[in-house]
Chains A and B, each alone.
Chain A
Amino acid sequence: MNSDPDLHHDDFGASRAVAMRLFCAILGPNAHPIDRLAARCAASDGAQWSSQVLAAFVTVPKSIESWIAWKDMAKTGIRESDLHAGDPLALAAFLQYLCAIAGALAFDGTVITKTSAVEIRRALNVIGPLIEPRWQDIFRRALVRLDQIKDIGLTK
């Protein structure tokens, strides 16, 4: 999109992606990583980008231990300062991290993070619809599981 946008008249998908990025720029360091990730996924090449990021995990885990290992591996790529600056590698690691949390939840309802249920729910709601259908389904099932969990103390 050119630098003279008309956010109402331009295609809504593109406008939304531009608006998200501008809002992140306006918030600066106060922009939430989820919003930065959403802005990245909503960009015109966002679907392709997220598919490539997630394709790095060739096999989808079949046990809760594997999901945890996936999460721990992703976590090593997340440097918070980079994440707040919107660094692409940090955002990729954050997406993998989030997918591991969603995967474990969808797998057997285990919460493998100490992040609050409210934050997890928001992340699943915001990012889920922006990624490929297979993962959208995992995010949807994770949300259902999250709604069923009353006690968030089940963390690993």
Chain B
Amino acid sequence: MSATSDPLTPSRSFPETQTVWISDRLSEGEAGLMLANGYVMESYVRPLSIYCSKIGLARSVRIDADDLVHGFFANRLSNSEYLKSWLTSGLRLRQWLRNGLHFYVHELRRQNATQLGLQIGGQALSEEVLSECAAHDHEFERAWALAVLDLAIKETKEELETRNRRDEWEMFWSHHVEGVPHAKIGERFQLSAAQVAQRAFAVGAQLRDALCGILRKDGALGSEIDVEVRSMMEVLNELRS
């Protein structure tokens, strides 16, 4: 047995525990549940809504995509057990919600069919939903990647603005997105290249922390963040055409 796996030998760091923010909120009763629901709606409405539009899910039940997602949230999150069930599902929250949305759409289709006196049958519901989900996996992951990055940008910028440091975002953006050298940015802000580099680096770290926080709430471990980011990049690359 290697030294690191020997239970009697102390490891260099504590084993990572999956601290799920939502789990903590759910243990706080009604107020915590409201916070958790609010977070879920705010963070997931956009990727789910875009996903619905892209794959025609909303059209299939003749509802506007935003309305469909809001209806889904109203229906599911009013049940206090819904998010608790996610905690034991082993799925990322985004996947859990997307599956739930597909089930919700099937319920709506059945309701519509019943009202029209039609029969829907054949394939088992879960099988049908899972195959529908699998077929559009990339579309959803792409919507998620852009949404999660948008949220992290928003959080980072708000934090910088609160501390009256909006300029630092501009430095970060000019260098990392527009490819402007630090020295040139420094001329604009009357700073040395090293000072700009330092500030841009700090903003990058802040953006990373914001992204990390969102991904952890989705169910990722802190140690998985780089892997998550790389897979988001892959998804964006795969769908370039």
A binds B: yes
Q: Are B170 and A3 touching (Cβ within 8 A)? A: yes
Contacts of A43 in B (CB 8 A): 179
Which stretch in B19-27, B31-39, B95-103, B229-237 binds the other chain?
B229-237
| Shortest distance between the CB of B175 and any CB in chain A (Å) | 8
Q: Are B226 and A19 touching (Cβ within 8 A)? A: no
| Shortest distance between the CB of A108 and any CB in chain B (Å) | 28
Q: Are A25 and B149 touching (Cβ within 8 A)? A: no
Main secondary structure of the interface of B (DSSP, over half): helix
User: Which of B169, B211, B226, B240 is in CB contact (< 8 Å) with A130?
Assistant: B240
| Shortest distance between the CB of B206 and any CB in chain A (Å) | 10
Q: Are A16 and B153 touching (Cβ within 8 A)? A: no
Q: Are B240 and A27 touching (Cβ within 8 A)? A: no
Q: Are A38 and B207 touching (Cβ within 8 A)? A: no
Contacts of A35 in B (CB 8 A): 230, 233
Q: Are B233 and A20 touching (Cβ within 8 A)? A: yes
Which stretch in A5-13, A96-104, A112-120, A139-147 binds the other chain?
A5-13
B residues 172-214 near A (Cβ < 8 Å) are 172-174, 176-177, 179, 204, 207-208, 211
Q: List 20 A-B contacts (CB under 8 A).
A: A1-B177, A3-B173, A7-B153, A8-B46, A8-B50, A8-B146, A16-B240, A18-B177, A19-B232, A19-B236, A20-B236, A21-B177, A22-B177, A22-B207, A23-B232, A25-B172, A26-B208, A26-B211, A35-B233, A38-B237
Q: Does A68 contact B (CB under 8 A)?
A: no
Q: Are B229 and A23 touching (Cβ within 8 A)? A: yes
Given contacts A16-B236, A38-B233, A126-B237, A27 and B177 within 8 Å (CB-CB): no
Q: Does A83 contact B (CB under 8 A)?
A: no
Chain A residues in contact with chain B, CB under 8 A? 1, 3-8, 13, 15-16, 18-28, 30, 32, 35, 38, 42-43, 88, 125-126, 129-130
Main secondary structure of the interface of A (DSSP, over half): helix
**Shortest Cβ-Cβ A-B pairs, 5 listed:** A3-B173, A25-B176, A7-B146, A26-B208, A25-B204
Contacts of B230 in A (CB 8 A): 27, 32, 35
Q: Are A23 and B233 touching (Cβ within 8 A)? A: yes
User: Which of B147, B177, B204 is in CB contact (< 8 Å) with A8?
Assistant: B147
User: Which of A5, A28, A126 is in CB contact (< 8 Å) with B153?
Assistant: A5
